[in-house]
């Protein structure tokens, strides 16, 4: 077994710009579910002034928990000038239909699959607190509303009044409306929405902080609002552990438990083993157990390579042919990109700072010295995919 060595990295000196969705090309091979924003293994940025990790998250359309877990050695409240911050690069797509929107509340991110089938958009979002959980399951976008008016339920008004922050019966549209400028109403009992946020809660994205709704950055909900239509399917899942293939390498991705939940390492190992077995034609390969355990302990959301499959020349030729035959359908890129920027139609973007410098190292090598250890025993029951078919 060989494991790719994660040795090269991409250095990005960031642009001062608002957040927009990260747009990934879907893998050419149908069974692969790992996507990457940059060609290198690791992406980083260097601060050009003193700031916080929350400022960096805002700029790169990342959630607060996500960027903190990737930079556990840094002080979230003080990032000094020239300090290096790790950014996400690879992501494993949730185990759900590649159709419409998937919200994986365990990683505080959503994925939107346009109808052309060649791209996937990924956005950060906030979810419901322990006492106001975001419901799981399949639903649809019931209606779209620009400049929504908020009528707080009586339970929320009582909560705010008890905290010395009384709410009016009706909160008009505007910069202080918690729903932001756009709202996508879900076909669920309880008035659940995917919506923006007001200027007072801009740094709560990517946290378990709402009353059950899904909250997004203002620029992100603007973009999503104009991408989707009423009737778009929405899958709400909870998948803290994900497993997926890319270029015959198997990756695992692990996220922390939500508030009020607690799983042991043994439970996470059993769940991961079941997912690995499912991804490998129901056979458990002799994967790199230390790498898996480290990923499940660290829970930083960074996909970790644990196994590389050796395929025959005939299989390789068949996959190459399938890749060549796949037609690429062009999609307008969001403004956040390394390549030359394409102007976004729906959102007015502020002026960018001067050009930035990009340094790219060589393609990562493949290690031939990965230690093979006897695989753990899989869970007795297959791990739940976190959604149901309605």
* Residue positions annotated with a catalytic role: 195, 213
CA 131 to chain centre: 23
Separation between Cα atoms, residue 198 and residue 55, nearest integer Å: 16
Separation between Cα atoms, residue 215 and residue 208, nearest integer Å: 10
Contacts of 309 (CB under 8 A, 6+ apart): 245, 248, 249, 250, 280, 285
Do 130 and 212 form a contact (C-beta atoms < 8 A)?
A: no
Contacts of 56 (CB under 8 A, 6+ apart): 14, 45, 47, 62, 67, 79, 85
Q: Is the dihedral of CA 93, 347, 226, 334 positive or negative?
A: negative
Separation between Cα atoms, residue 371 and residue 292, nearest integer Å: 12
Contacts of 270 (CB under 8 A, 6+ apart): 376, 377, 378, 379
């Amino acid at each position: 077994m060989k494991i790719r060595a994660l040795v090269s990295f991409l250095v990005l000196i960031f642009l001062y710009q608002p957040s927009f969705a990260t747009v990934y090309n879907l893998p050419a091979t149908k069974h692969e579910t790992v996507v990457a924003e940059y060609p290198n293994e690791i992406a980083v940025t260097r601060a050009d002034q003193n700031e916080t990790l929350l400022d960096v998250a805002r700029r790169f359309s990342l959630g607060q928990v996500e960027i903190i877990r990737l930079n556990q050695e840094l002080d979230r409240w003080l990032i000094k000038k020239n300090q290096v911050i790790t950014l996400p690069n690879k992501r494993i797509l949730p185990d759900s239909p590649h159709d419409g929107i998937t919200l994986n509340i365990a990683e505080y991110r959503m994925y939107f699959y346009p109808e052309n089938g060649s791209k996937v958009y990924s956005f950060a979002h906030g979810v419901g607190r322990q006492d106001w959980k975001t419901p799981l399951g399949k639903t649809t976008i019931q209606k779209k509303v620009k400049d929504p008016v908020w009528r707080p339920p009586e339970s929320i008004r009582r909560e705010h009044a008890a905290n010395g922050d009384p709410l009016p019966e009706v909160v008009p549209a505007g910069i202080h409306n918690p729903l932001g400028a756009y709202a996508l109403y879900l076909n669920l009992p309880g008035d659940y929405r995917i919506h923006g946020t007001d200027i007072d809660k801009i740094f709560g994205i990517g946290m378990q902080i709402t009353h059950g709704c899904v909250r997004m950055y203002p620029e992100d909900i603007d973009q999503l609002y104009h991408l989707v239509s009423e009737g778009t399917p929405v899958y709400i899942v909870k998948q803290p552990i994900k497993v997926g293939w890319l270029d015959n390498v198997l990756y695992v991705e692990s996220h922390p438990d939500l508030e009020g939940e607690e799983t042991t390492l043994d439970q996470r190992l059993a769940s991961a083993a079941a997912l690995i077995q499912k991804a490998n034609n129901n056979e458990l390969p002799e994967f790199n157990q230390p790498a898996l355990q480290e990923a499940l302990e660290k829970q930083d959301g960074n996909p970790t390579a644990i196994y590389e499959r050796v395929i025959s020349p005939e299989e390789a030729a068949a996959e190459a042919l399938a890749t060549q035959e796949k037609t690429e359908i062009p999609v307008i890129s969001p403004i956040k990109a390394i390549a030359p920027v394409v102007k976004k139609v729906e959102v007015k973007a502020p002026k960018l700072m001067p050009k930035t410098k990009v340094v790219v190292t060589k393609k990562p090598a493949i290690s031939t010295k990965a230690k093979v250890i006897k695989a753990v025993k899989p869970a007795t029951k297959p791990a739940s995919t976190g959604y149901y078919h309605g």
